[in-house]
Structure 1
């Protein structure tokens, strides 16, 4: 790969990323109904993409709508009841396909639970904690992309994600640690968030790799073409799924520092 090829998609990626960042900041800042509805829509879009990839093209739009409605219903229920409802919807979707049922059910459940966790973090834990998760994931992604393209080197897992390198992976961890230190100072936690941010970064990378593995298994490059330069919604938010699942679980069990 030539140096020009390495950066050929950068302009499109930056423009799309800029639009998403602006819209994301507005939604997170507003909170309430705008943010909640946005998460419902994103969750439905990701389940729609997953359904298409795993062979359910005929019922994918319907499953996307069902996923959005399930998130809306779950938000009206107490947590102890909302989580089983979301898992049940994922199982219902798995029942609709002839093969890869376990894979669909597991990933669809991860999508729905991560979306629910995102709502909890913004509305219950507070905007600063959701911004921490988002910034850690973005810092990991940007540092990994730049270091991987600039430095290259040994591949992280070429059979699953051929573009990811160890240099990009480690750069992502370092960027996450720096971001965690900054948020730790801002939130009055000192540098205590540094290590947790690195763990969050690893969880995000795991979500990215899981989605990449699914795409390799079904033979597709992107989950869809909804976002220019980034592929589909899942391609852009796969890392966020892993990170918010972890952060949401920590919040539910009272393990996030500074949040009782």
Structure 2
């Protein structure tokens, strides 16, 4: 039976309005860089740690809020010190979350550390690679998500990983790769390195894996959304989960050599 149009697209208006607000806030912070972008990264990271903590220990809401604050302040300290010796402090919030009983303790620790590294990585990439590079990263994640959302809902078809993410289809997944590759071509024509053409779909795939990882955690926690902070999108984790996978991949590649970006970006 065909899904009713209202049910299929009923959340589109709220998603679009929320997306516009997020784009405006994020766009201004990315353009200004410096304290504006670093501050936004700290806030987003703290909110994600709070949501993860609340999902894995739902009976300790106040402690989850405190842990989110600790995460934001820790990331701010690491960014302020501008020294690789302080990177080890990023493990403190994940470890602090283990002081009390918690479900899926190992999963919490690994994912919380991934969030802290993502917050740091975004600011580091903005400072070293420039505004164009951050614009490219976020654009790849957004285009992949949007292409997957619309193509997946229109075409449907076999599920990508039904046990973990029952809504994701192969049609939407592949559409995300294609959209990212085309975006890589656009950035290459705008002055980026030729490597962006093959790197963009890889970043999109890493983002999709980040999305699936969060879906897996939510299923284990028996929740639909990480929170209700963003109308139409759920929580901050629900919106930025793909960015976690994308940024971690870029940090891994950057550890072996320079990214295929040019100063033109």
Q: With the length of structure 2 as denominator, give the TM-score of the two structures.
A: 0.93
Q: Would you say 1:31 and 2:18 are equivalent positions? A: no
Query: Residue 75 of structure 1 is aligned with which of 71, 75, 79?
Result: 79
Indicate yes or no: 2:40 matched with 1:42.
Answer: no
**Which residue of the partner structure matches residue 57 of structure 1?**
61
Q: 1:251 touches 1:259 (CA, 8 Å); kept in 2?
A: no
Aligned counterpart in structure 2 of residue 120 of structure 1, from 107, 118, 124: 124
- C-alpha distance after superposition, 1:36-86 (max 9, x if no partner): 111111100000000000014240010000000110111133453233210
User: Which structure 2 residues correspond to residues 211-230 of structure 1 after superposition, within 5 A?
Assistant: 211-230=214-233
Aligned residues: 259
Where does 1:85-234 land on structure 2 (aligned, <5 Å)? Answer: 85-190=89-194, 192-234=195-237
Q: Which moved more, 1:178-187 or 1:165-174?
A: 178-187
Runs of 5+ in structure 2 lacking a partner?
Answer: none
Shift of 1:200: 0.4
Shift of the alpha carbon at 1:253?
Answer: 3.6
Native 8 Å contact 1:144 1:169 kept in 2: yes
Q: What whole-Å deviation, never above 9, does each CA across 1:203-254 have from its counterpart, x for those lacking one?
A: 1001100000000011000000000000000000000111111123333443
Moved more, 151-160 or 215-224: 151-160
Residue 8 of structure 1 deviates from its aligned partner by 1.0
Deviation at 1:103, TM superposition (A): 0.8
User: Relative to structure 2, which stretch is displaced further, 248-257 or 102-111?
Assistant: 248-257
Contact persistence 2:150–2:172 (CA under 8 A): yes
**What is the match of residue 23 of structure 2?**
21
- C-alpha root-mean-square deviation of aligned residues, in Å? 1.6
- Aligned-partner Cα distance in 2 for 1:73–1:252: 23
* TM-superposed deviation, 1:159: 1.2
Q: Secondary structure at the match of 2:45?
A: helix
Residue deviations 1:120-149, cap 9 Å, x none?
111122111111100000000000000011
Residues 43, 115 of structure 1: 8 Å contact kept: yes
Partner SS, residue 81 of structure 2: coil
Q: TM-score, normalization: structure 1? A: 0.95
Structure 1 distance, partners of 2:106, 2:138, is 29
Give me the whole-angstrom Cα distance separating, in 2, the residues matched to 1:68 and 1:188. 32
Residues 133 and 247 of structure 1 are in contact (CA less than 8 Å); yes or no, is this contact kept in structure 2?
no
Structure-2 change in CA distance of 1:104 and 1:214 (3 Å): same
